[in-house]
Structure formats: C-alpha cells, structure tokens
Amino acid sequence: MLLAPEAAACDRRLDLVDALEPRIRALVPEADRRRRLVTELEAAPEGSLRHLLVGVKDIFHARGLPTRAGTALPGGLFAAEGVEEADADCVAALRAAGAVVLGKAVTTEFAYFEPGPTRNPRDLAHTPGGSSSGSAAAVAAGYCELALGSQTVGSVMRPAAYCGVVGFKPTFGRVSRGGLLACSPSVDTVGLFAPDTATAARGSAVILDAWDPASAEGRREAPRPVLGIPEGPYLRQASPEGLAGFEEQAARLESAGFRVERLEVLSDIDEVNQRHRDLHGAEMALEHAPWMEEHLHLYKPLTREFLLRGREIPEARLLAGREGRGRLRHQLERIMAAEGVDLWICPSAPGPAPRGLQATGDPVMNLPWTHAGLPTLSLPAGLVGQLPLGLQCVAAHGRDEALLAWGVALEAALRPGGGRASTFASAGLIFQ
C-alpha cells in the first residue's frame, strides 16, 4: 500500500512536470504517466533508493517504455528482443534498489549532435547541452533526483555544467552497458545526473560494479586531495569567460585550503582530439551498418553526415584510436603519481551554455578524459549572468569512490552554505 507522504511527494513532482514540461520538454511524452507511476511506486521493493524518481535517457531500454533514441527510424530496428519486458542492466539495478522510472528523457538523435526539443531550465533561450539533454534538464527542473545519461565524448559533463547540476561519468567499464544502444563501444560510458554529489554517490553505489563502501566512507576522512591544473593547449580550448570563471574557481579552492599544482600536460591535444573523433565515427558507422543504407534518408542531417564520414575512416585509424586510449591513460596517471596529484580540475565546458537551440555546445573539454576512460565529476561552480559554469574533476582509473567522496568537500568549498545544487524549482526562477 502506498503511504500518503510517498504519494504526495510523487504528486508534487508530477505537478511540476505538468507546469514546466510544455516549455522545457525534457521528457518523451507519455499517455498516462501518473497512473503508471502510482502502480510502480506501490510495487517498488525495499532498497537504498526506495521511491526515488529516475529519468532514463532514451537510448536505454526500460520495460513498458519504447526506445526511440530521438530518431524517425523505425524503433523495431534497434529495440531489444521483448523490449516491453526488458530493462537495461543499470535500469534494472536502480529498480531493484527501489527507484521508480519517471519516464524516458529526451536525447539527441542516437546520442550524437542533432538537437532534440529540450530547453535549458536556467534560460529557455539556451541549449541544455547534449546528448543527455533531457536527463540534465529533468534534474535541473526538479522533476527527479537522479537521471541516467551516457557519455561518448562529453554528454554527461557538458549538460550537467550547462544546467547547473552534478554529473558523474564513472571509469570506463564499471557500469554494465547491457541494454544501451551503442554509439562507440570503446568509449561509451553510463553516467548519472543528480542535484548534489551525495545523491550521485547513492545512485553510483547501486549501478557501479564492485562498489567499495569502505573506500567511499574512508576517503571522507582522508586529507584533502591535491588538485592539478592541466596547463597548455588543452586548457586554452576554453573561452575567455570560461577560463576566467575557472581561475576564480581554482582561487576559491586554494582559499579553502586545497593545494593546487599547475602542470603542463596534453601538449598533443589536437592529435588526441582527432584520434577520438576517428574512433567515434568509425565505430558508430559499424553499429548502424545493419540498417543504415536502407534508412539513410530518415536520419537527421548531422547524424547522416557523421555516419557517412565514419564508414570511410580506414581501419588503421580506427585501431589507432583504440590503442591510444590506454596510452593516454598511462601518460596522465604517470604524471599524477610523479607530482602527487589526486585530481585534475578543469572547466566542464568551454563556457556557459551557448544561446540558441540549433546546437548543443562543444565537448572538447571532456574529450581527453573520456578517451582515457577516467572517472569525471562535474560540479556546479558559479554563474555567468544566470547561466551556470561547471568545474570538472578527474580521478585516476578506478578511483570512482574517492572522486565522489572528495567531490562532497569540493562542492562545499565551491558553493558555501550547502552542498546541494540549486534546481530550477528550488531557485524559484520564473520563465519569461
């Protein structure tokens, strides 16, 4: 039997969806969301996430909710067998912990760059980012406290930064991708959005393989992490206002007692960027090969162009992209070990969310860390006008628990007076 407080809490969030969704458009439309949610809330098992509402990016399968991936292509081409009864592995894990699926969140077409209809809750005239646009916007608007996304280049970090919420991309391979439509399997990573780091850690404890609660708790008592700034051509990819905001963030952390080291790294960022783009394009073309030719006319222009270019990439460049992942990871971790750096810090995006809905922004600040498979965390860290800026924190491979635990302290230093992101609803912002 559903208890009154649980029903009331769900009703409040659904009232918010009803009020804001015609303008934000973060969720895939659903005929009778309330009726389904009441049924799922009543059936939710006991667990660490009991009755927590979760948005699911529309490239993950979720039972009872069709997967459309933001495309006009027939869903049967990429639907899981028995999709009405199937959950992606991470969705199943969240449901087993008592979470309830709010609905499918809008994605760009096949998680590439062709924008969907979602608008940024912080300012409707600006992009929410991509490709996990709906997931980030749903958390920012207060619809739910957790949302699933995925990152192939910057699709968790960038929308988290643009929408002013926490985004977490785990170490590559620590979350099962079963039931996820692949984009580039060599780098695709399941990620999470949340209003604060503590909530992101609760969700991560459920979906990450071999989660170590002792490590997560112990790290909170450990000394503050040493922070490294990756000086050089990588950092100069950010915009002037993005760099100015980042320097202010770094100064705030130093004032709070964090040690910050400036190190020259990623001098070959142009080569890393090209390697990753080749890998992404070639692998996505391979994933779409079974149906691409027959349905090419149904793809949106940016996706179609990328797939056509991707299938022309020579195998040697594809293999070079795959091989370069481990090499970059070891280079970065050798520097961290030699210099005593625990976390890299850098902008989560080149600057605040660009104006307009025709593009989703540039993921260039996220690319090398995704290529290396390292865990990253985006924290809300200031504003340009009313548009949020994010701070990206990067840990060594497999140190996800430490990153999230340290993130709580970093969050408090960056946002004095509380470690919780200010959502659209709680901030009281009003559409014009």
175-178 contacts, C-beta under 8 A, 24 or more apart = 175/90, 175/207, 175/208, 175/209, 176/89, 176/90, 176/207, 176/209, 177/89, 178/88, 178/89
Give the strand pairing for 343-347 and 387-394: antiparallel
Identify whether 169 is a catalytic site residue: no
Q: 5 Cβ partners below 8 Å, 6+ apart? A: none
- Cβ atoms within 10 A of the Cβ of 317, count? 16
- Cβ atoms within 10 A of the Cβ of 301, count? 9
The C-alpha R_g of the chain, in whole angstroms, comes to 20
Asked if 52 and 100 touch (Cβ cutoff 8 Å), the reply is yes
Q: At what angle do helices 197-207 and 89-96 cross, to 10 degrees?
A: 110
Identify whether 57 is a catalytic site residue: yes
- In 3D, which of 153, 131, 162, 140 has the Cα closest to residue 60? 131
DSSP string, 262-287: EEE--TTHHHHHHHHHHHHHHHHHHH
Phi-psi region of 96 (alpha: psi -120 to 50; beta: other; left: phi over 0): alpha
- Joined together, the tokens standing for residue 114 give 């062709």
Catalytic member of 135, 155, 204, 378 = 155
Count of H-run helices and E-run strands, the chain: 14, 10
User: Which helix H or strand E contains 194, and what residues bound it?
Assistant: strand 189-194
Identify whether 133 is a catalytic site residue: no
Q: Measuring CA to CA, how many Å separate 40 from each of 14, 99, 325?
A: 14, 9, 41
- Give the distance, in angstroms, between the CA of residue 54 and the centroid of all CA atoms in the same chain: 14
Catalytic member of 131, 133, 135, 184 = 131
List active site positions.
Answer: 57, 131, 155
